[in-house]
Structure 1
Amino acid sequence: MPATTARSTTGRPAAPATVTASAGTQILLTNVTKHYGLATPAVDDVSLTIEPGEFMTLLGPSGSGKTTTLNLIAGFETLTSGAIEFNGADVSALPPHKRNLGMLFQNYALFPHMTVAQNVAYPLKERRLGKPEITRKVGEVLELVQLTGRDDHYPSQLSGGQQQRVALARAIVFGPNALLLDEPLGALDRNLRATLQAEIHRIHREVGTTFVFVTHDQEEAMNLSDRIALFNNGRIEQIGTPEALYESPETLFAARFLGDSNVFELSGPLGESIPWEDNVWSIAPETVSAQASAAEARVALVVRPEDVRIAVDGAEPPSGSNAVTATVRDIEYLGSYRMAVLSIGRGPTAGKARLGARESEVTEGQTVTAWWPVERQHLVAV
């Protein structure tokens, strides 16, 4: 039976009733800590507010604490200290089955002896819903994940992407307080990942519930998220929109983890200008992060490769820009663009500058001037 579509207050189509039992749950973590008896905690005093209906991604390298944090929200791990609240109610001591959360894992966790419809219906049967309601809800959610007509197939008859859609349908069919997704696309190839990213984004938009997504893939996080909590060594390094984290990193870890960066570590105090080797560079106050401006902070200057320009044959960079002499070590062809790999300074410091795909005046072995607009650099804490 097709889902009945209404209009939400934002003007976009509202989700079918089967998946709007919760319009979105606020998840509040306060000073959350998890110790396993090692020298440092796996999660170290993490505080985070996930707003109702938000797509929040926990991003970071392996061992950074993001999956442990997700398991604490789910109730699969117990807190060492701190508190977790759903819509203002403390759930810290509740077992997983009483938190009413949907879960989506990398390995799908489908029952191989059950059909698609039976897999999706399983959480509804556990909640003792009547057969007509189960049939209706299963039909609606299979339409949402675009698997109508696959009801009687078994998991072994489906592709990896289709199996993940079944797992997603099962995770949202009962209208959970929130959906927790733990590296759900990690087992898929690049093209299929991109397709399912678009599907997850669409389903989140239509369902309207809270999604908490764990990944170590920066592009995936940037593509899907309303906000990202970037984890490092059990703590949150920075929280913000994808644009904010990329355009305004606060620390060197954030700048390096989210995309390529040219990094110049500095030794002198911040003033109206900064020295680096034989160069003196200008500072734009708005590009200095709060952590970098703290007293006695170790600071680095970061500039993205797409913001670096190359001047050749003695050409002068524009007035007011920062510049440095460099040698072109290599030219990498990457389809829609090329990347000049640079040696900069006495060190030498490795650098990169993004070129157009057909830009040919820059050649390997050439001595050039690399320059960038002052407002496109970032001064971050090391």
Structure 2
Amino acid sequence: MTILIGKTPATAGPEAAAGGAGAQIRLERVTKDFGLASPAVDGVSLTIEPGEFMTLLGPSGSGKTTTLNLIAGFESLTSGTIRLDAQDVSTLPAHRRNLGIVFQNYALFPHLTVAGNIAYPLRERKVPRAEIERRVAEVLELVQLKGRDQHYPAQLSGGQQQRVALARAIVFHPRALLLDEPLGALDRNLRAALQLEIRRIHREVGTTLVFVTHDQEEAMNLSDRIALFHDGRIEQVGSPETLYGAPETLFTARFLGDSTVFPLGGQPLTGPVTWEGERWAVDAATVAARAHEGGPTALVVRPEAVGVVRDRAQVPAGANAVRARVRDIEYMGAHRMLQLAVGEDVAGRAQIPAADRSYTLGDDVVAWWRPDAQRIVAA
């Protein structure tokens, strides 16, 4: 079964989408100022392509949810422009933007059945009864709730209620689907299951999807691209692989995954770098673009790229190395994580096989990594 999200319903009005893969969403210098010390959203520019799964990721207060509310029309712009395809919707009311919204709290009507909740946006749009029944049946099958149409929300689990909210947001063929922390109220196992369902539904309907979360793992699992927010601005935009493997700033490196971070100050990056008497080779391809601006930088290396040996003579040729001490060992199931004390105040991390029990607390070791596995970022 294929449901074409973005196909213009006859009753949707002139503001409805015309394409079959959802709308392009373009933010141009978007700002929202609530009159506080700094704007909640500060000059954000971002293009979300038709059919793309874009996640707005960041800590609480970073501006991601406010940005989603600006796209939805729930908040008014202080300045800037928002376009859906070629249409400027900056001043268009939320109900005329034809966007599907899913909230963390589901926002289901308790007095309506599952079918009644899903049908609600169609009834508001004066869709004929037979068409309503057909579309409701389609999305019930899509979200795997067939046979639950006459149940009430109180009779459903949290995951089932979220599926109903998703079906209601899809059924009227929106130009794009906006999801605001939709899995935040669910336990870990159910979150993982519904992540798979959201990814499957996105593949099947093919619509533009904007997903807000503060959960790094969730963003990495679901997204085509991630826009990482920090203090009301976008820190970096890219695929999950790019943000994890090629961070441009220390904030990005620390927010997305674990790292060992060595501050480098403002030393030149045209050759080897030094840190507390160590001299390390630099692979030019791993120096982030922003590091050339002349400000402070840091060398970042991920735990899976760090090897551990007993003696410096065991370090592979061409690798960078530093002396460390094992201060903790975490068993993670598939692997063990060594927590390392490096120098005066650097907390290092090295990932080793789960079966490796050769290290104990207090062991003196040498940590090493290849120059092409490190990243030098703006700090």
TM-score by length of 2: 0.95
Is the counterpart of residue 278 in structure 1 residue 265 in structure 2?
A: no
Quote how far apart the aligned CAs of 1:278 are. Answer: 1.1
Residue aligning to 1:310: 308
The CA distance in 1 between the partners of 2:168 and 2:233, in whole Å, is 32
Quote how far apart the aligned CAs of 1:335 are. Answer: 1.1
Is the counterpart of residue 83 in structure 1 residue 100 in structure 2?
A: no
Aligned residue runs from structure 1 range 232-381, under 5 A: 232-267=230-265, 268-294=267-293, 296-313=294-311, 315-345=313-343, 347-381=344-378
Residue aligning to 1:12: none
Residue aligning to 1:9: none
Quote how far apart the aligned CAs of 1:24 are. Answer: 1.2
The one-letter amino acid paired with 1:290 is A
The one-letter amino acid paired with 1:272 is G
The CA distance in 1 between the partners of 2:3 and 2:349, in whole Å, is 48
The CA distance in 2 between the partners of 1:118 and 1:25, in whole Å, is 27
* CA deviation vs aligned residue, 1:135-193 (integer Å, no higher than 9, x gap): 00000010000000001000000000000000000000000000000000000000000
The CA distance in 2 between the partners of 1:158 and 1:193, in whole Å, is 16
Residue aligning to 2:15: none
Residue aligning to 1:151: 149
The CA distance in 2 between the partners of 1:70 and 1:331, in whole Å, is 40
* CA deviation vs aligned residue, 1:264-322 (integer Å, no higher than 9, x gap): 0012222210010010000000000000122x221000000110000115542011100
The CA distance in 2 between the partners of 1:201 and 1:128, in whole Å, is 30
- Would you say the 8 A contact 1:310–1:368 is kept in 2? yes
Residue aligning to 1:72: 70
- Structure 2 gap ranges (5+): 9-19
Residue aligning to 1:8: none
The one-letter amino acid paired with 1:371 is W
The CA distance in 2 between the partners of 1:128 and 1:74, in whole Å, is 22
Quote how far apart the aligned CAs of 1:348 are. Answer: 2.9
- Would you say the 8 A contact 2:337–2:349 is kept in 1? yes
Distance 1:107 1:291, change over 3 A: same
SS in 1 for 2:304: helix
The CA distance in 2 between the partners of 1:19 and 1:46, in whole Å, is 25
SS in 2 for 1:184: coil
- Would you say the 8 A contact 1:20–1:207 is kept in 2? no
- Would you say the 8 A contact 2:247–2:375 is kept in 1? yes
The CA distance in 2 between the partners of 1:299 and 1:121, in whole Å, is 55
Pick one of 94, 105, 114 that aligns with 1:107: 105
Residue aligning to 1:165: 163
The CA distance in 2 between the partners of 1:192 and 1:99, in whole Å, is 31
TM-score by length of 1: 0.94
The CA distance in 1 between the partners of 2:173 and 2:281, in whole Å, is 54
Identity of matched residues, %:
66
Is the counterpart of residue 214 in structure 1 residue 212 in structure 2?
A: yes
Quote how far apart the aligned CAs of 1:17 are. Answer: 4.5
The CA distance in 1 between the partners of 2:101 and 2:248, in whole Å, is 32
The one-letter amino acid paired with 2:268 is P
- Would you say the 8 A contact 1:238–1:250 is kept in 2? yes
- Would you say the 8 A contact 1:56–1:211 is kept in 2? yes
SS in 2 for 1:204: helix
- Would you say the 8 A contact 2:5–2:21 is kept in 1? no
The CA distance in 2 between the partners of 1:87 and 1:291, in whole Å, is 31
- Would you say the 8 A contact 1:57–1:227 is kept in 2? yes
- Count of residue pairs the alignment pairs up: 367
Is the counterpart of residue 16 in structure 1 residue 14 in structure 2?
A: no
- Would you say the 8 A contact 1:18–1:137 is kept in 2? no
Pick one of 25, 28, 41 that aligns with 2:23: 25
Is the counterpart of residue 57 in structure 1 residue 44 in structure 2?
A: no
Quote how far apart the aligned CAs of 1:255 are. Answer: 0.1
SS in 2 for 1:302: strand
Q: Indicate the larger mover: 47-56 or 266-275.
A: 266-275
Distance 1:348 1:23, change over 3 A: closer
Residue aligning to 1:10: none
SS in 2 for 1:293: helix
- Would you say the 8 A contact 1:317–1:323 is kept in 2? yes
Quote how far apart the aligned CAs of 1:118 are. Answer: 0.3
Residue aligning to 1:177: 175
The CA distance in 2 between the partners of 1:17 and 1:37, in whole Å, is 42
The CA distance in 1 between the partners of 2:315 and 2:4, in whole Å, is 60
- Would you say the 8 A contact 2:5–2:206 is kept in 1? no
The CA distance in 1 between the partners of 2:33 and 2:40, in whole Å, is 6
- Would you say the 8 A contact 1:312–1:362 is kept in 2? no
The CA distance in 1 between the partners of 2:170 and 2:241, in whole Å, is 29
The one-letter amino acid paired with 2:129 is K
- Structure 1 gap ranges (5+): 6-14
- Would you say the 8 A contact 1:19–1:173 is kept in 2? no
SS in 1 for 2:135: helix
- Would you say the 8 A contact 2:5–2:175 is kept in 1? no
- Would you say the 8 A contact 2:31–2:79 is kept in 1? yes
- Would you say the 8 A contact 1:35–1:80 is kept in 2? yes
- Would you say the 8 A contact 2:4–2:21 is kept in 1? no
